[in-house]
Structure 1
Amino acid sequence: MSSHTCPAVPVVHEGPLPAPGGGSLWAERSGTGSPVVLLHGAGMDSRLWDAVVPELARHHDVIRYDARGLGRSTAPERPYSDVEDLRAVLDHFGLRRAALVGLSMGGETSLDFALAHPGRVGALGLVGASVSGHLWPEDSQSVAYAAARRERDAAALAALELSVWASMGRTAPGGELIEAMVMDNARRRIVSESYLAYSPDLNAEAQLGDIAAPTLVIHGDRDHPEIGAIAKRLVADIPGARGEVIPDADHYLPLRTPERLAELLLGHLARRRIR
Structure 2
Amino acid sequence: MPAPGGGLLRGERTGAGAGRPVVVLLHGAGMDSRLWDGVVPGLAAHHEVVRYDARGLGRSDAPVRPFDDVADLLAVLDHCGLERAALVGLSMGGETALDFALVHPERVAALGLVGASVSGHAWPDDDPEQAAYAAARRAGDAGELARLELSIWASLGRGAPGGALVEAMVAENAERRIVSEHYLTGAAALDAERRLGAIGAPALVVHGDRDHPEIGAIARRLAADLPHARAALIPDADHYLPLRTPERLVALLLEHLAKPA
Q: How high is the TM-score relative to the length of structure 2?
A: 0.97
Q: Is the 8 A contact 1:25 1:66 kept in 2?
A: yes
Distance 1:177 1:91 in 2: 30
Higher helix share goes to which structure?
2
The answer for the alignment partner of 2:143 in structure 1 is: 155
The answer for the alignment partner of 1:62 in structure 2 is: 49
State whether structure 2 residue 18 is matched by structure 1 residue 30: no
Compute the displacement of 1:27 (Å).
1.2
The runs of 5 or more residues in structure 2 that have no matched partner are none
State whether structure 2 residue 258 is matched by structure 1 residue 270: yes
Compute the displacement of 1:199 (Å).
5.1
Q: Could you tell me which of 159, 164, 167 is aligned with 1:179?
A: 167
Q: Alignment RMSD, CA only?
A: 0.9
Compute the displacement of 1:147 (Å).
1.3
State whether structure 2 residue 10 is matched by structure 1 residue 19: no
The answer for the alignment partner of 2:101 in structure 1 is: 114
Structure 1 segments, 4+ long, off by >2 Å, are: 198-201
The answer for the alignment partner of 2:157 in structure 1 is: 169
Compute the displacement of 1:200 (Å).
4.3
The amino acid that maps onto 1:86 is L
The amino acid that maps onto 1:39 is L
Q: Could you tell me which of 205, 225, 231 is aligned with 1:243?
A: 231
The answer for the alignment partner of 1:99 in structure 2 is: 86
Compute the displacement of 1:217 (Å).
0.1
The amino acid that maps onto 1:257 is T
Distance 1:60 1:118 in 2: 21
The amino acid that maps onto 1:124 is L
Compute the displacement of 1:202 (Å).
1.2
The alignment of Structure 1 onto Structure 2 pairs a total of residues equal to 257
Q: Cα deviation per residue 1:14-37 (whole Å; 9 max; x = unaligned)? A: xxx100000010010001332000
Using the TM superposition, name which of 134-143 and 119-128 deviates more: 134-143
The answer for the alignment partner of 2:58 in structure 1 is: 71
The answer for the alignment partner of 1:217 in structure 2 is: 205
The amino acid that maps onto 1:174 is G
Distance 2:187 2:161 in 1: 37
**What is the aligned-residue identity percentage?**
72
Q: Could you tell me which of 51, 54, 64 is aligned with 2:38?
A: 51
Distance 1:232 1:208 in 2: 12
Q: How high is the TM-score relative to the length of structure 1?
A: 0.92
Using the TM superposition, name which of 255-264 and 138-147 deviates more: 138-147
Matches within 5 A, 1:80-99: 80-99=67-86
Q: Could you tell me which of 124, 134, 152 is aligned with 2:111?
A: 124
Distance 1:174 1:166 in 2: 10
Could you say what secondary structure the match of 2:81 adopts?
coil
Q: Is the 8 A contact 1:122 1:272 kept in 2?
A: no
The answer for the alignment partner of 1:208 in structure 2 is: 196
Could you say what secondary structure the match of 2:111 adopts?
strand
Could you say what secondary structure the match of 2:58 adopts?
coil
Distance 1:67 1:272 in 2: 29
Q: Is the 8 A contact 2:27 2:92 kept in 1?
A: yes
